[in-house]
Amino acid sequence: MITERSLEVLRAIVGDYVATSEPVGSQRIVDRHGFNVSAATIRNDMSALEEAELITAPHTSSGRIPTDKGYRVFVDRLAEVRPLSPAQRRAISQFMAGTLDPEQLLDRSVRMLAQLTGSVAIGHLPSLLNTDVHRIELVPLHERRVLTVLITDSGRVEQRITELREPASAELLERLRDRFNEQLVGKRLRDAAALLRNPQDFLAPEDVAAATPLAAALVDQVLANQHHRLVIAGAANLARSERDFSTILPLLEAIEEQVVLLRLFTELDINDREVAVSIGHEHENATLEETSVVATQYRAEGGAARVGLLGPTRMDYSNNIAAVRAVARYLSRLADDLHD
């Protein structure tokens, strides 16, 4: 039977193992955690935890380490998510100040998470093809050179310089701009791309030749937003924190093969949780069975984006959950400010 004291013993084992990477024995628990019981009593608690498959012996020594199931019980029932210190919160605010560009903010937040936690930090921006066209501008730079500007309803601005075959007057560019906006404003980017591939369907015949290269440039600008983006920082932290290279090799390979991480991140069930944690064998990918993911969503252009951490199952879950939650809240507030 798992008693409350046995669960506190599990908490102690998880904490000590995360801190030292060494199996934890009963005498160490007695010496460090003040249970006011004998080592023999602690050994009985450890036997109950082992029978429940919450801890295991990695070899024949008396020390024990948590199992995936043990980490799950710790995360769900025992982890005390400590708020970040004022100094840490100031560091996040200062590090991410000075830009409202979503990609720059994600880059900065991922680097900050890696610094705060000593883990591998990951940020995911979804495809923007489900955002809408807000405005199109055609800016003459030279008689045959035009700057095409695509602005989305999320504030993203894409620009291209296009060379025309023939000189274009200001009146022609103004007419094309108005026609593009009439057809495209308010439409999803994916639908706008389809329309722009056939400009003859909505332009006057005499304007098609001049408009074709401009429409092609705008298609390129739309498609620049079609891909998911994954930002990663802190891979070097693995080498500093882990002694056993064999445990981090699958992680390094997953970082190299980003498709694996993208699937892992996007398939993580976050909808009903503030912060989701996936541990070891809970992943569908068997090569990451010694890996944990801590992630959450934040509001961004294009919908819900994700930010989180990737590392060995032996991670500081309490601190990592707090850091991920704080950075995501900050990103969401910045997104709200951008749209106010």
| Residue 154's CATH number | 3.30.390.10
Residue at a domain's end among 158, 191, 223: 223
Residue 258 to residue 316: CA distance in whole angstroms: 24
| Residue 36's CATH number | 1.10.10.10
Residue 278 to residue 281: CA distance in whole angstroms: 9
208 and 332, same domain (yes or no): no
Q: Give the residue numbers spanning the domain of 293.
A: 86-126+228-339
Task: Name the amino acid, one letter, at 120.
Answer: V
**Average pLDDT of every residue of the chain:** 85
214 and 232, same domain (yes or no): no
The pLDDT tens digits of the residues spanning 97-143 come to 776 676 778 888 899 999 989 889 998 876 666 678 899 999 998 88
Q: Count how many domains the chain has.
A: 3
The pLDDT tens digits of the residues spanning 208-256 come to 999 999 999 998 888 776 666 788 898 888 777 666 666 677 777 777 7
110 and 173, same domain (yes or no): no
The pLDDT tens digits of the residues spanning 9-47 come to 999 999 999 998 899 999 999 999 988 899 999 999 999
3-state helix, strand, coil in the chain (%, to 5): 50, 20, 30
330 and 315, same domain (yes or no): yes
Residue 30 to residue 39: CA distance in whole angstroms: 6
Residue 252 to residue 239: CA distance in whole angstroms: 10
Whole-angstrom CA distances from 151 to 143, 185, 242 are: 24, 10, 46
332 and 187, same domain (yes or no): no
30 and 172, same domain (yes or no): no
The pLDDT tens digits of the residues spanning 277-328 come to 999 999 887 788 888 999 998 877 656 788 999 888 999 999 999 999 988 8
The residue with tokens 């009593």 is 41
In angstroms, the first-to-last Cα distance of the chain is: 55
Residue 122 to residue 261: CA distance in whole angstroms: 9
150 and 179, same domain (yes or no): yes
138 and 186, same domain (yes or no): yes
- Helical (H) or strand (E) element with 317: helix 317-339
294 and 308, same domain (yes or no): yes
153 and 214, same domain (yes or no): yes
260 and 201, same domain (yes or no): no
212 and 315, same domain (yes or no): no
Closest CA to 320 of 289, 296, 286: 296
**pLDDT, position 97:** 75
